[in-house]
Structure 1
C-alpha cells in the first residue's frame, strides 16, 4: 500500500518521529541562540537587537521554504483569499509570540522561562477543547498534562533555585505561550484549505518582516558585525524554524491537538540536553527524570490510540 503524508503522520511511529523531530529542532534553538548572542555581542538587556535577530531568522526561514517550493515546481505567488488566514497565523504564531517572549525573558529567570514555556500545551489543549467537538479535554489528557508539566518543572529546578516571583515579565511569557498555542491551533484550521508550505512560508515572512521593523526601530537595521560563525548559526536557526514549523503544522493538520500538544513538553528537555553538549553545561541526573515524566505524559495521553493501532494491525 502506497504511503502518503497523511498515512505516515497518523501512525504512532510517524507521529513520534515528526512531532518529536520538530520539538528536537526547536529545543536545539536554545543553545544555538545563546551561542549566536555571544558571537554578535547581544546582551540580555538588548531587547531590540534580540527581536531584530529573530526577524532575520524567520524572514530567512520563509524565503528558504519559498525557494524549496520553487525548486519543486510549485507556485509561490499569493493565492487569492488567503491573506486573512495567513495574517492571523503570522500575527499570533510568529509576531506576538516572539515579541512577548523576548520581552518576558529579558526580565525573568531562565528557570522560570523554561517552566512557563511548558504552558503552551495547556493553552493548545484548552483552545482546541472549544474549537473542535472531537478534541475535548478529558481526565486522561488532564493527567498526561500534569505528568508532562511535572517534567518541565523538574528541568527548570535543575537549572537553579526556585524563584516564586511573578510580575510583568512572567505575564508576558504566559501571553507568549498563549499566542503560540493559539497560532498553532489556527494553523491546523487553516491547513484544511491551504497548502502547508505556502501557509508556513507566508505567515513567517509576514511575522519576520514586522519583527525586523520593530527591532530596527530601536537598534537600527544592521547593528551587527556578522562573522562566518554567526552567519552559519543564523542559517541553521532559519533551517530549523522552516523545517520545524512545516513538520509541526503537518502533524497538527492530521491529528487531534490534544494528542500532539504533549510533545511540546520535550522542547525544554531537549534544550537542556543539547545545551549540555554544545555549551558544556552540567547535565544533572534530574534531567533524566524530567525526560521520563514528559514521555510518561505523552504515553498517557496517546495510550488509547497506540492500543487501537496495535489491535488493528498497525
Structure 2
C-alpha cells in the first residue's frame, strides 16, 4: 500500500492521528519530569531553551538516520532552503522557546488544554489561504465554543484573583500554539514538493542547533548532569518529535486541513490524562470544563463536512 492510499484511508487517518496525538500528549508530563530530574527551574529560561535544543537536534538526526536506512538521499534539494528555514523558525525555534518557557510556569494539564486550540488557529488561518477551506456557520460555532474553553481557564481563579486573567505561562503557551499552527500550514505546502522526512529532518536539525546556540549563551553547552533516566526521557521526547510530526504531516499532506483537524482534540485529552497520571496534577473543574469545550469545538467545526459527504454518498 502506498503512502497516499494509507494516509487517505479512514483507518490510516485514524491510526496515524491517534498515534501522533498520543505521542504529543506525553510530551507535557515528560518535559516537566525532565525539568525536575535535571534541576531546571521555572526561571531558568536559557537552560529550558538548551534542553529543547538537545531534543530537536537529536530528533532531526533520528529522522535523517531513518532516511539513510531507507536509502533516501540527504543531499540538498534545490529551492528547499527557504521553506526549511521558515518551518524551522516557526515549528521549532519560536514554538518551543515559548512552549518550554510557558510550560515551566504552568501545570501540565493546563498546557495540554491550551494545545488543543491549535485546531482553531489552523482553521482560521486556512480560511485565508485555501479557497476550499472557508469558515462557514458550523465552523464559526465550533471556533466560538473552542475559544470559550480558553475563557474558562482565564476566568478561573489564579493566585487569588478573580476575573479574566491569563498567567504569563498561559500567554506563552497560547503564542506557541499559534506558531505551531502557522508551521503546520507551511509544512503542508512544503510537502507538495519535498518528502516529509526531508523537510522534518532538516527543519528539526536546523531549529535544534539554533535553540542549542541560544540556550548555551550563559550556561554553556553541557550544564546538566544526565543519568540513565534523564537520558531515556530525552530520547523519548526526541522520538515524540520525530514520529509525531512525521505521522501528522503525512496526514496533513494527503487530506484537507478541515477534514483532519478534529483529531487534534485528542492532544489535550491525552495530555491531561497523562499529566494527571505521571505528575499527579489535580483535575480542577476549570480544567475539565475547558477540556470539554475545546474538544467539543473541534468536533463541531468538522461536523458539517462529514454531513455533506454522507448526503453525497446517499
TM-score by length of 1: 0.86
1:5 aligns with 3
**C-alpha contact 1:149 1:265 (8 A) present in aligned 2:** no
* Other structure's SS at 2:75 match: coil
The answer to whether the 8 A contact 2:113-2:294 is kept is: no
The residue that corresponds to 1:165 in the other structure is 165
Equivalent residue for 1:261?
Answer: 261
Query: Partner of 2:221 in structure 1?
Result: 221
Instruction: State the Cα RMSD in Å.
Output: 3.1
Q: 1:295 and 1:262, CA in 2 relative to 1: closer, same or farther beyond 3 A?
A: same
**Residue aligning to 1:270:** 270
- Contact 2:32–2:104 (Cα < 8 Å) also in 1: no
Question: Secondary structure of the equivalent of 2:78?
Answer: coil
Cα deviation for residue 257 of structure 1 reads: 1.6
Q: In structure 2, how many angstroms separate the alpha carbons of the residues matched to 1:111 and 1:245? A: 21
Distance 1:189 1:122, change over 3 A: same
Label 1:274 to 1:111 Cα distance change in 2 as closer, same or farther (>3 A): closer
Distance 1:54 1:305 in 2: 37
Q: For the Cα contact (< 8 Å) 2:59–2:241, is it kept in 1?
A: yes
**1:72 maps to what in 2?**
70
1:43-95 Cα distance to aligned partner (Å, 9 max, x none): 11111111100110011011001111111111122222211111111111111
Whether the 8 Å CA contact 1:19–1:251 is kept in 2: the answer is yes
- Number of equivalenced pairs: 312
* TM-score for the superposition, normalised by structure 2: 0.86
Q: In the superposition, relative to structure 1, how do residues 85 and 249 fare at CA in structure 2: closer, same or farther (>3 Å)?
A: same
In the TM superposition, residue 96 of structure 1 has moved relative to its aligned partner by 1.0
CA contact under 8 A between 1:97 and 1:177: conserved in structure 2? Answer: yes
Consecutive unaligned residues of structure 1, counting only runs of 5 or more, are none
After superposition, what is the alpha-carbon deviation per residue over 1:98-125, rounded to whole angstroms, capped at 9, x for unaligned? 1223344455676764554343222211
Pair 1:181 & 2:181 matched: yes
SS in 2 for 1:219: coil
Partners of 1:277 and 1:231 in 2: CA distance: 21
Residue 138 of structure 1 corresponds to: 136
SS in 2 for 1:207: helix
Counterparts of 2:243 and 2:207 in 1: how far apart (Å)? Answer: 17
- Against the structure 1 CA distance between its residues 159 and 282, is the aligned structure 2 distance closer, same or farther, given a 3 Å change threshold? farther
Q: 1:55 aligns with which of 42, 48, 53?
A: 53
> 2:84 pairs with 86, 89, 110, which one?
86
- Residues 41 and 159 from structure 1, CA distance in 2 versus in 1: closer, same or farther, beyond 3 angstroms? farther
Could you list the runs of 5+ residues in structure 2 that have no partner in the other structure?
none
Q: Would the aligned equivalents of 1:148 and 1:295 in 2 still touch at CA under 8 Å? A: yes
CA drift at 1:129: 1.0
Matches within 5 A, 1:1-314: 3-106=1-104, 113-150=111-148, 164-166=164-166, 171-283=171-283, 293-307=293-307
Shift, 1:168, TM fit:
6.3
Quote the offset at 1:218 in angstroms.
Answer: 2.7
Range 200-209 or range 136-145, more displaced:
136-145
| 8 Å Cα contact 2:151-2:164 kept in structure 1 | no
